Chain A
Amino acid sequence: MMGAQPFETIVGAHHAEIYRYIRRVTSRPTEAEDLSQETFLRAYRAYRTLGPEANVRAWLFAIATNLTRNHFRSEKRRRVALQAASLERREADPDGPEDEARFGEARVLVTRTVGRLPLKQRQAFIMRKIHELDYEAIGQSLDCSAESARAHVFQALRKIRLSLDGQALSPTTTEQPR
Chain B
Amino acid sequence: MTRKPQSCREIEADLVAAATGDAESGAARRVERHIDSCASCRGEFHRYREIDGVVGALRRVPAVAESMARAREGLESRLADLRSRLVSYRIFPSPLGHILIARSEHGVSLVEYLGGRSDLAASRLSRVSGVEPQEDGAEIEALFRELLEYLRGDRTRLEWALDLRLARSDFHRAVLRATAAVPYGAVTSYAGIAAEIGRPAATRAVAQALRWNPLPIVVPCHRIIGSSGALTGYSGNKIELKRDLLAVEGVRAVGARDAHVTRQALYHYERNEQREYCLPTCGDIARRPIGRVTLMASRDLAESLGLVPCTSCRPDLHPLAV
Q: Which A residues fall within an 8 A CB radius of B?
A: 1-2, 7, 11, 15-16, 19-20, 23, 29, 32-33, 36-37, 40-41, 44-45, 48-49, 94-95, 99, 103, 106-107, 110-111, 128-130, 150-151, 153-154, 157-158, 160-161, 164, 169, 173-178
- B residues near A169, Cβ cutoff 8 Å: 50-51, 53-54
18 residue pairs of the A-B complex, CB under 8 angstroms, read A11-B72, A11-B79, A15-B72, A33-B74, A36-B71, A37-B75, A48-B88, A49-B137, A94-B64, A150-B22, A157-B20, A160-B51, A174-B49, A174-B50, A174-B53, A174-B54, A176-B53, A177-B53
A37 touches B86 (CB 8 A): no
7 new A-B contacts at CB < 8 Å, known A16-B68, A19-B63: A1-B138, A16-B72, A37-B74, A48-B88, A157-B20, A161-B16, A177-B52
Indicate if B70 sits at the interface (CB-CB under 8 A): yes
- Interface residues of B: mostly helix, strand, loop or mixed? helix
In the complex, chain A residues whose CB is within 8 Å of the CB of B136:
48-49
Q: Is the CB of B61 within 8 A of A99?
A: yes
B residues contacting the other copy or chain, number (CB 8 A): 43
Known: A2-B139, A29-B64, A154-B13. A173 touches B54 (CB 8 A): yes
Q: Are A161 and B88 in contact (CB under 8 A)?
A: no
Contacts of A48 in B (CB 8 A): 88, 136, 139
- Does B281 make an interface contact (CB < 8 A)? no
- Residue contact A20 to B63, C-beta cutoff 8 Å: yes
A23 pairs with B134, CB closer than 8 A: no
A6 to B20, CA, bound (A): 37
Cβ of B79 and Cβ of A178 under 8 Å apart?
A: no
- Name the CB-closest residue of A to B44: A161
Instruction: Determine the chain A residues whose CB is within 8 A of the CB of B44 once the complex forms.
Output: 161
In the complex, residue of chain B having the shortest beta-carbon distance to the beta carbon of A102: B61
B30 is an interface residue with CB less than 8 A from chain A = no
Within 8 Å by CB of A33, from B47, B67, B79, lies B67
0/1 interface trace, chain B 3-30, chain A, CB 8 Å (1 if under): 0000000000100110011100000000
Residue contact A40 to B75, C-beta cutoff 8 Å: yes
> Which chain A positions have C-beta within 8 A of B67?
23, 29, 32-33, 94
CB B45 to nearest CB in A, in angstroms, measures 11
**Does B48 reach chain A (CB closer than 8 Å)?**
yes
Q: Do A19 and B71 have beta carbons less than 8 Å apart? A: yes
| Chain A residues in 8 Å Cβ range of B57 | 103, 107, 173, 175, 177
With beta carbons under 8 angstroms apart, the residue of B22, B48, B72, B137 that contacts A128 is B22
